[in-house]
Amino acid sequence: MLKGIKDHERLRDPGCLETREMPATFLRLHSPRERVALPYASLVKLELTLDETTLELSFITHRVTIAGRSLNEIYKAVTEAEARLVRVVAADFADEAAVPSYKALVRAIRIEPLDAEERRKQ
C-alpha cells in the first residue's frame, strides 16, 4: 500500500528541481537542447516575476531565463544555493494538472552567453 502512495506522489512530481541541503558549487541547467553548469560564484542577480512564471538569473557570463509556473520554489532554492539541478519537464509527463501548486513546473530554459559589452554592464 505504501509503495502505491510513493508511486502516486512521484507521478505528481515533474522532477524539475533537485536540491541538497549543503550549498552547491554549480547550478546545472538541462533543457532538451543543452546542458550547462554555471558556478554560483558568478551569479549576480536573480529576478522572479510576481506571477511566478518567469525567473531570470544573471551570471557574469550568461543570462538564464526559466519559464513555467510556481517558480518561487526554484527562486528560494537558488537564493540559498541549494538548487543543484533545474530541468525542463519531461515531454512525456502526462498529468501537469495534478502537480501541486507549490511544485515548480519548468516548461523552458533559455541560456544566452553575454557578449563583451553586456559583460561590462554587469
Q: Where are the domains of the chain?
A: 2-121
Interval 76-114: pLDDT, tens? 999 999 999 999 988 767 677 777 888 899 999 999 998
Q: Within a 10 A sphere around the Cβ of 65, how many other Cβ atoms?
A: 14
How much of the chain exceeds pLDDT 90, in percent? Answer: 65
Section 60-67 average pLDDT? 96
Handedness of CA 111, 78, 68, 44 (dihedral sign): negative
Structural contact between residues 102 and 16, judged by C-beta atoms closer than 8 angstroms: no
